[in-house]
Amino acid sequence: MAEETKRTDDVSRRQFFTKLGLGSLSIAAVGTAAFAYQYLEPNVLFEPSPVVNAGKPDRYPLDSVTLDVNSGIYIIHSEEGYFSLSAVCTHLGCLTAWKPELGIIACPCHGSKFSVSDQAKLKPGEKIEGPAPKPLPWKRIWLNDDGDLLVDRSTDVPAMARDSFVRV
Amino acid sequence: MADSKDFIAGVDSNAKKSPRRIVFVTRRTSAQVKVETEDQIQTFPEVLFRAAVAIQVLAILLIWIALFFNAPLEGLADPSHTPNPAKAPWYFLGLQEMLHYFPPVVAGVLVPGLVVMALIVIPYFKVNIEADGLFLKDRTRRLRIFYVVASLLSLFLLFFKVYAALVPTLIMAGLMLFAAQSSPQSRSAFRRYLAGRPLSYWVMTWFLFELIVLTAIGTFFRGPGWSFVWPWQGS
Amino acid sequence: MAKTIDQHFDSLRETRVWRSIFRSGTGSSTLKRALAIQQNVFLHLFSTKVRTRMLSVSATWYLGTLTLGTFLILVATGIPLMLYYHPSAPQAYADTKDLQFVVSSGLFLRNLHRWSAHAMVFLVFAHMFKVFYRGAYRPPREFNWVIGVVLLLLTLLLSYTGYLLPWDQLAYWAITVGSNIASAVPVIGGKIHFLLLGGNAVNANALLRFYVLHCMILPLTAIFFVAIHFWRIRKDGGLYSHGSEPAVVRAQAASRSATEIPGGEKEAQ
Q: How many Å lie between the alpha carbon of C256 and the closest alpha carbon of chain A? A: 45
Nearest-angstrom CA–CA distance, C191 and C239 = 43
Tell me how many domains chain C contains: 1
**Does residue C195 lie within any of the structural domains?**
yes
ipTM: 0.84
**Does residue C180 lie within any of the structural domains?**
yes
**Does residue A2 lie within any of the structural domains?**
no
B49-58, B211-220, C2-11, C115-124: least confidently modelled range: C2-11
Contact A39 C98 (CB under 8 A): no
Contact B116 C149 (CB under 8 A): yes
Per residue in C219-239, pLDDT (tens digit) is 999 999 999 999 999 888 777
Give the number of residues written for chain C: 269
Does A38 lie in the same domain as A65?
no
Does A16 lie in the same domain as A97?
no
Q: Does A40 touch chain C (CB under 8 A)?
A: yes
Does A137 lie in the same domain as A112?
yes
**Does residue A4 lie within any of the structural domains?**
no
A119-128, C77-86, C106-115: least confidently modelled range: A119-128
**Does residue C105 lie within any of the structural domains?**
yes
Nearest-angstrom CA–CA distance, B207 and B153 = 13
Instruction: Give residue C260's pLDDT.
Output: 44
CB A168 within 8 A of CB A75: no
Structural domain of C102: 60-237
Q: What is the mean pLDDT of residues C124-146?
A: 91
What residue of B is the nearest CA neighbor of C153?
A: B116
Per residue in A117-157, pLDDT (tens digit) is 877 788 889 999 999 999 999 999 999 999 999 999 999 99
Q: What is the pLDDT along chain B (235 residues), one digit of tens a residue?
A: 445 567 667 666 555 545 556 777 776 666 665 556 677 788 888 888 899 999 999 999 999 999 999 998 989 988 888 888 888 888 888 888 888 888 888 888 889 999 999 999 988 887 777 778 888 888 899 899 999 999 999 999 999 888 888 999 999 999 999 888 888 888 888 888 888 888 888 999 999 999 999 999 988 888 888 888 888 875 4
Instruction: Give residue C263's pLDDT.
Output: 42
Per residue in C13-36, pLDDT (tens digit) is 888 888 888 887 777 788 888 888
Contact A44 C84 (CB under 8 A): no
Q: How confident is the model at residue C242 (pLDDT cuts 50, 70, 90)?
A: low
**Does residue A16 lie within any of the structural domains?**
yes
Structural domain of A30: 12-43
- Collapsing DSSP to helix, strand or coil, B21 comes out as strand
Q: Where are the domains of chain B?
A: 90-233
Q: How many Å lie between the alpha carbon of C40 and the closest alpha carbon of chain A? A: 21
- Judging contacts by C-beta atoms under 8 Å, the chain B residues touching residue C121 are 91
Q: How confident is the model at residue C208 (pLDDT cuts 50, 70, 90)?
A: very high
**Does residue C39 lie within any of the structural domains?**
no
Q: How many Å lie between the alpha carbon of A35 and the closest alpha carbon of chain C? A: 7
Instruction: Give residue C257's pLDDT.
Output: 55
Does A148 lie in the same domain as A97?
yes
- Number of CB pairs < 8 Å for A and C? 21
- Judging contacts by C-beta atoms under 8 Å, the chain C residues touching residue A29 are none
Q: Does C103 touch chain A (CB under 8 A)?
A: yes
Per residue in C136-147, pLDDT (tens digit) is 888 888 899 999
Asked if the model's pLDDT at residue C247 lies above 60, the reply is no
Asked if the model's pLDDT at residue C209 lies above 90, the reply is yes
Contact B109 C186 (CB under 8 A): yes
Does A34 lie in the same domain as A69?
no
User: Model pTM?
Assistant: 0.82
Q: Which amino acid is at C225?
A: F
Contact C103 A39 (CB under 8 A): yes
Does A68 lie in the same domain as A85?
yes
The count of C-alpha atoms lying within 13 angstroms of the C-alpha of C87, restricted to the half-sphere facing its C-beta, is 18
Q: How many Å lie between the alpha carbon of A43 and the closest alpha carbon of chain C? A: 6
Does A152 lie in the same domain as A121?
yes
**Does residue C97 lie within any of the structural domains?**
yes
Asked if the model's pLDDT at residue C78 lies above 90, the reply is yes
Instruction: Give residue B182's pLDDT.
Output: 84
| Chain centroid, CA C33 distance in Å | 25
**Does residue C102 lie within any of the structural domains?**
yes
Per residue in C154-203, pLDDT (tens digit) is 999 999 999 999 999 989 998 888 888 888 888 888 898 999 999 888 88
Per residue in A36-63, pLDDT (tens digit) is 999 999 888 888 899 999 989 999 999 8
Helix H or strand E encompassing B119: helix B111-121
Residue A99's φ and ψ, nearest 5 degrees, are -110, 95
Does A93 lie in the same domain as A22?
no
Chosen from C181, C240, C255 to mutate, greatest number of chain B CBs within 10 A = C181
Given a contact as 3+ CB pairs under 8 Å, which chains touch C? A, B
Q: How confident is the model at residue C2 (pLDDT cuts 50, 70, 90)?
A: low
Does A79 lie in the same domain as A25?
no
Q: How confident is the model at residue C55 (pLDDT cuts 50, 70, 90)?
A: confident
Does A105 lie in the same domain as A35?
no
Neighbours of C188 (CB within 10 A): 11
Contact C180 B131 (CB under 8 A): no
Contact B41 C50 (CB under 8 A): yes
Chains C vs B: touching, with 3+ CB pairs under 8 Å?
yes
- Closest partner CB to C102 (pick from A35, A36, A44): A44
Nearest-angstrom CA–CA distance, C136 and A40 = 45
Instruction: Give residue B194's pLDDT.
Output: 87
Torsion of CA A61, A64, A65, A67, to 10 degrees: -40
Tell me how many domains chain A contains: 2
- Closest partner CB to B77 (pick from C153, C160, C167): C167
- The CATH code of the domain that includes C207 is 1.20.810.10
Q: How confident is the model at residue C121 (pLDDT cuts 50, 70, 90)?
A: very high
- Judging contacts by C-beta atoms under 8 Å, the chain C residues touching residue A44 are 98, 102
Does A31 lie in the same domain as A62?
no
Instruction: Give residue B24's pLDDT.
Output: 73
- Closest partner CB to C112 (pick from B54, B62, B95): B62
**Does residue A6 lie within any of the structural domains?**
no
- Closest partner CB to C115 (pick from B65, B103, B201): B65
Q: Does C84 touch chain A (CB under 8 A)?
A: yes
Instruction: Give residue C1's pLDDT.
Output: 47
Contact C105 A38 (CB under 8 A): yes
Nearest-angstrom CA–CA distance, C227 and B115 = 25
Chains A vs B: touching, with 3+ CB pairs under 8 Å?
no
Nearest-angstrom CA–CA distance, C186 and B109 = 9
Contact A44 C80 (CB under 8 A): no
Q: What is the mean pLDDT of residues C110-121?
A: 97
Does A93 lie in the same domain as A58?
yes
What are the C-alpha distances in Å from C183 to residues C2, C105, C190, C227?
Answer: 75, 39, 5, 32
Instruction: Give residue B134's pLDDT.
Output: 84
Q: Does A35 touch chain C (CB under 8 A)?
A: yes
- The CATH code of the domain that includes A94 is 2.102.10.10
Q: Does B34 touch chain C (CB under 8 A)?
A: no
Output the DSSP codes for A127-162. Answer: EEESS-SSPPPEEEEEE-TTS-EEEEEEEEE-TT-G
Nearest-angstrom CA–CA distance, C30 and C27 = 8
